[in-house]
Amino acid sequence: MSNIFKIELAKDDLNQALNTWISHLKNEKRVSLHTVDAYYRDINSFIHFLIEHIGGPLSLRNLETLIASDFRAFMARKKRDGNSTRTIARLMSSIRSLFEYFEKIEIIKNNAINNIRMPKLPQSIPKPLTYEQAKDLIIDTQNPDINEKSPDWVQIRNKCIFLLLYGCGLRISEALELNIKDAPIEEWQDTIRVRGKGNKYREVPLLSDVKENIKKYIELYPKKYNFDDPLFVGVRGDRLSPRIVQIIMQKMRASLNLPENATPHSLRHSYATHLLQAGVDLRSIQELLGHASLSTTQMYTKVNQKELLDVHQKAHPRNKARHLKLVSDNS
């Protein structure tokens, strides 16, 4: 995606201002391309709504004179279109970010959005895979019954990606942004350097299995490479798209009969959850995951609490006695 605004029914001043904001995100805030794409889609959706809502063409002056009911109308439209509360909250967050930037560089000022009550999000608990499910998933990336038409280098590529997600806790965007020069193939390398959110780097410890498979993948790399080339490429030689990894996961999920929550990101959830269950402290997990706030990492304690409650319900003597009584009553 080019991320360049050329909206036909938006006036030049608005398109130019929007592209200035996109440039700010890329070059000053240095957010990931995945995040830039998300911002672009959100604001593009909002601008096209306003063109219809107000009766374009749209200018910066129109944005400056928006009132609270205009923003509420956008939220209501998205709700009618079937968007979730979480999606609408993300859209409004993007719009607020845009207006804050415009105010900061003194293009326009509009406080109406600050009077909008943002959608209240339900607190969701991460849904990790079990250890056995994660292990089966990684092993089956090279299962000939599933990958009969995939060349060897594609199979080992997929295995390396899943190993980085589960064995190192990387986000899918972090794994796919790695270049050849980032590959930990030297004997002395026992960590991998990752660029996370907010352009912050962290060193993540490597399991020997991850390192060995990346070395095998480099040996099978499908073309002559330079060190600045992407580590993970598609069949056309370009940097691999997150969508391709999601499709691969969908196929694996069906073949292994995994639950719907088996996604690339669930492997990162599984990494954190299994570390916590093994006794690793929250502060260390926070650093490994690259979370800015410990409160974000603390959501994994809720997974543990839920599992403990489930075990308690199934194993506690009083619950067993109750179950036996119910069976006796029904016999």
* Residue 194: strand pairing partners: 202
Long-range contacts of 23-28 (CB under 8 A, 24+ apart): 24/101
Instruction: Pick the catalytic residue from 78, 157, 171, 253.
Output: 171
Residue 171 annotated to the active site: yes
Pairing of strands 201-205, 191-195: antiparallel
In sequence order, the β-bridge partners of residue 187 are none
d(CA 140, CA 240): 20
The residue assigned the tokens 């439209």 is 77
Please, are residues 115 and 96 in contact by the beta-carbon 8 Å criterion?
Answer: no
Q: Which of 211, 269, 274, 291 is catalytic?
A: 291
The three-state secondary structure class of 328 is: helix
Among 89, 86, 98, which residue's Cα sits nearest to residue 39?
98
Asked about 225 being catalytic, the answer comes back as: no
Does residue 291 carry a catalytic annotation?
yes
CA distance 299 to 123: 9
Q: What is the DSSP letter of 112?
A: G
Annotated catalytic residue within 78, 159, 268, 269: 268
Q: Which member of 39, 166, 217, 300 is catalytic?
A: 300
Q: Of 11, 24, 48, 197, which one is the catalytic site residue?
A: 197
Handedness of CA 3, 4, 5, 6 (dihedral sign): negative
How many CA atoms lie within 13 Å of 120's alpha carbon, on the beta-carbon side? 0
86 has catalytic annotation: no
Classify residue 118 as left (phi > 0), alpha (psi -120 to 50) or beta: beta
> Which residues are within 8 A (CB) of 153 and not within 5 positions of it... i.e. 6 or more apart?
217, 220, 221, 222
Q: What is the DSSP string of 157-169?
A: HHHHHHHHHHHS-
Neighbours of 143 (CB within 10 A): 14
Q: Which residues are catalytic?
A: 171, 197, 265, 268, 291, 300
